[in-house]
C-alpha cells in the first residue's frame, strides 16, 4: 500500500527555522498536508498543497513540494515555544468516497531556549 515517512524527532533553537521533511510513495497524490498535534488535542490542519503546485507560503509557514522525488517539506520561520508539537505529513489521492488520507508517523518538534 501507499506509505508516508518522516523522521521522528527534530530539535531546534528558539528563533531559528525548523524544517520538517517527509517522503511519500503515491505517484497519484492530489493533496499533501501538514497537521499539527499539541498535547491533549486532536490534529489541527496547518496547511495543504495541491500536487500541481511546488510551493505555498502562509505567514511563517512555507511548504515545498518536489513531485519528482516525492518529497514534501514544512519550514517554520522564527520558531517559537508554541510551535512545540507533533507534525504529521499526509497525502490523499482522488475525490471519491474511497479516497483516504495516508498519514506519516509524525515528527516531534522540540524547541531549545
Judged by beta carbon, residue 43 or residue 64, the one nearer another protein is: 43
Which among 18, 7, 8, 11 is positioned nearest to 79, based on CA atoms? 18
> What is the SS3 assignment for 83?
helix
Tell me the closest approach of the beta carbon of residue 84 to another protein, in angstroms.
18
CB of 38 to another protein, least distance (A): 10
What element of type H or E holds 14?
Answer: none
Q: Rule CB under 8 A: which residues touch another protein?
A: 30-31, 33, 35, 40-45, 48, 88, 92-101, 103-105
Q: Which is nearer to another protein, 51 or 73 (CB)?
A: 51
Q: How far apart are CA 108 and CA 1, in angstroms?
A: 25
Considering the complex, what minimum distance in angstroms separates the CB of residue 27 from another protein? 15
| Shortest reach from residue 5's CB to another protein, in Å | 10
Structural contact between residues 10 and 108, judged by C-beta atoms closer than 8 angstroms: yes
Query: Which CB atom, from 95 or from 113, has the smaller least distance to another protein?
Result: 95
Task: Tell me, rounded to whole angstroms, the distance of Cα 91 from its chain centroid.
Answer: 9
Amino acid at each position: 500500500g501507499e506509505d508516508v515517512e518522516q523522521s521522528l524527532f527534530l530539535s531546534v533553537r528558539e528563533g531559528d527555522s525548523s524544517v520538517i521533511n517527509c517522503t511519500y510513495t503515491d505517484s497519484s497524490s492530489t493533496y499533501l498536508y501538514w497537521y499539527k498535534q499539541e498535547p491533549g488535542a486532536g490534529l489541527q490542519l496547518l496547511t495543504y498543497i495541491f500536487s500541481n503546485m511546488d510551493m505555498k507560503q502562509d505567514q511563517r509557514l512555507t511548504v515545498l513540494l518536489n513531485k519528482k522525488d516525492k518529497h514534501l517539506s514544512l519550514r517554520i520561520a522564527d520558531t517559537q515555544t508554541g510551535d512545540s508539537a507533533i507534525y504529521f505529513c499526509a497525502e490523499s489521492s482522488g475525490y471519491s468516497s474511497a479516497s483516504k488520507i495516508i498519514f506519516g508517523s509524525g515528527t516531534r518538534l522540540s524547541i531549545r531556549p
